């Protein structure tokens, strides 16, 4: 898909993987709208790329609809959606002190990471279909899973469950939307230098990076964005989950 002048939406686009993706899409000519809850950072991020910021809770239907309305009013019907919004709590099924995993924490993780992804997919695709876009390709959706979907570590029960759901959603969503010429592809990143990891001491960052076979370092958000760009550009990439992880397979802890 030629992105020049095309409307694109990036959830979680205020920082991290989403922000790098928003920048890349803008450089390629897309009219980018950032959906995020961090208004202060999101407004600045959108201004930097000449885009639009809308405060959106991806797991809330009313908030999502309002966000898509605002994006469409500014940039027309979006034809590219990249789902990067997510949360990553750490808690064991049963803690060392015998306390059971909080059901509220588990539920929130599923709501944001999985239900939020589905909410964005369905709302986005419905608008693409209604727009009656002609040609071989009407739209592209890129989701973010995680290697935790396959190699969930100790303390990642909620996170791994939610990302496993995104993996399971990918092929069936691609098949559902094939008749409408909308592709669905998911990226499963390994250990990337996100704001959460940037808060760790350099020694801890280096130690995590050394776990990656090659290249033996943390992934860069720009490398995630490059994969998004490759997916958007290649019309035969559909219904697939791509591990972007330097060949790492996570240990139990």
- Position 249 in a domain: no
First to last CA, the chain: 40
The model's pLDDT over 121-134, given as tens digits with 9 standing for 90+, comes to 999 999 999 999 99
Please spell the DSSP secondary structure of 233-246, one letter per residue: H-TT--S-EEEEST
In this prediction, residue 105 carries a pLDDT of: 97
Cα–Cα distance, 245 to 76 (Å, whole number)? 35
Per-residue confidence at 104, pLDDT binned at 50, 70, 90? very high
- Position 199 in a domain: no
- Position 214 in a domain: no
Please count the structural domains in the chain: 1
Where in the sequence is the domain holding 109, given as residue range(s)?
Answer: 7-194+220-244
In this prediction, residue 203 carries a pLDDT of: 85
The model's pLDDT over 194-246, given as tens digits with 9 standing for 90+, comes to 887 877 788 878 888 999 999 999 999 999 999 999 999 999 999 999 999 99
- Position 231 in a domain: yes
Query: Helix crossing, 39-48 with 16-27: angle to 10°?
Result: 20
In this prediction, residue 204 carries a pLDDT of: 76
Return the percentage of the chain with pLDDT > 70, whole number.
100
The CATH number linked to 179 is 3.40.50.720
Provide the CA 117 distance to its chain's centre, in angstroms. 8
The model's pLDDT over 62-83, given as tens digits with 9 standing for 90+, comes to 999 999 999 999 999 999 999 9
- Position 225 in a domain: yes
Active site residue 159: yes
- The pTM for the full model equals 0.96
In this prediction, residue 208 carries a pLDDT of: 86
The answer to whether 84 and 12 have CB atoms below 8 angstroms apart is yes
> In whole numbers, what is the pLDDT of the chain averaged over residues?
96
- Position 208 in a domain: no
The active-site residue out of 106, 150, 159, 224 is 159
Average pLDDT over residues 132-155: 96
In this prediction, residue 206 carries a pLDDT of: 87
- Position 21 in a domain: yes
């Amino acid at each position: 898909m030629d992105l020049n002048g095309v409307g694109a939406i990036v959830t979680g686009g205020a920082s991290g993987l989403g922000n790098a993706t928003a920048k890349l899409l803008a450089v390629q000519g897309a009219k980018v709208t950032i959906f995020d809850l961090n208004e202060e950072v999101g407004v600045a991020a959108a201004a930097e790329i000449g885009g639009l910021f809308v405060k959106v809770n991806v797991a809330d239907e009313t908030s999502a609809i309002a966000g898509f309305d605002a994006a469409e009013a500014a940039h027309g019907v979006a034809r590219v959606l990249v789902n990067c919004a997510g949360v990553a709590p750490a808690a064991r099924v049963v803690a060392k002190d015998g306390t059971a995993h909080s059901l509220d924490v588990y539920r929130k993780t599923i709501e944001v990471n999985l239900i939020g992804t589905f909410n964005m997919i369905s709302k986005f695709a419905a608008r693409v279909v209604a727009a009656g876009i002609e040609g071989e390709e009407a739209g592209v959706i890129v989701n973010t899973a995680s290697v935790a979907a396959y190699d969930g570590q100790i303390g990642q029960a909620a996170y791994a469950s939610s990302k496993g759901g995104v993996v399971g959603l990918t092929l069936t969503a691609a098949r559902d939307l094939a008749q409408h010429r909308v592709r669905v592809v998911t990226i499963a990143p390994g250990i990337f230098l996100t704001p959460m990891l940037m808060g760790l001491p350099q020694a801890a960052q280096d130690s995590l990076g050394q776990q990656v076979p090659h290249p033996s370092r943390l992934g860069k958000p720009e490398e995630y964005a490059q994969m998004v760009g490759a997916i958007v550009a290649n019309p035969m990439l559909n219904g697939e989950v791509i591990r972007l992880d330097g060949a790492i397979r996570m240990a139990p802890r």
